Amino acid sequence: MAELVSIAEFDNVNEAYVIKARLESEGIRCYLSNENLNSIFGASISFTQVKLQVNLNDSFKAMDILYEEQDPSESD
């Protein structure tokens, strides 16, 4: 089995699903860790951040896509 790496963390599970769908549309298989804990406990508890994980071999491509999605006005 390939090694999974976390490439992003989210306080909101819905944000994680949006990014997961974007990456999967590019052919990158994604996994969410702690998604159920986030739904049960909510984002108010710090340990419940949802982690987006991908195969190590896909991590660079996935990070490129994530950076493309960022709003240029957010970068300083």
- Residue 67 sits in a domain of what CATH number? 3.30.70
Number of other CB atoms surrounding residue 49 within 10 Å: 19
pLDDT tens-place string over residues 14-64? 899 999 999 999 999 999 998 777 566 655 555 578 899 999 999 999 999
For residue 26, what pLDDT is reported? 95
Provide the domain limits for residue 47: 4-74
Q: How confident is the model at residue 12 (pLDDT cuts 50, 70, 90)?
A: confident
Q: How confident is the model at residue 2 (pLDDT cuts 50, 70, 90)?
A: confident
User: What is the pTM for the complete model shown?
Assistant: 0.75
Q: Which amino acid is at 46?
A: S
Q: Rounded to an integer, what distance in angstroms lies between the CA atom of residue 62 and that of residue 45?
A: 27
For residue 17, what pLDDT is reported? 94
Report the number of distinct structural domains present in the chain.
1
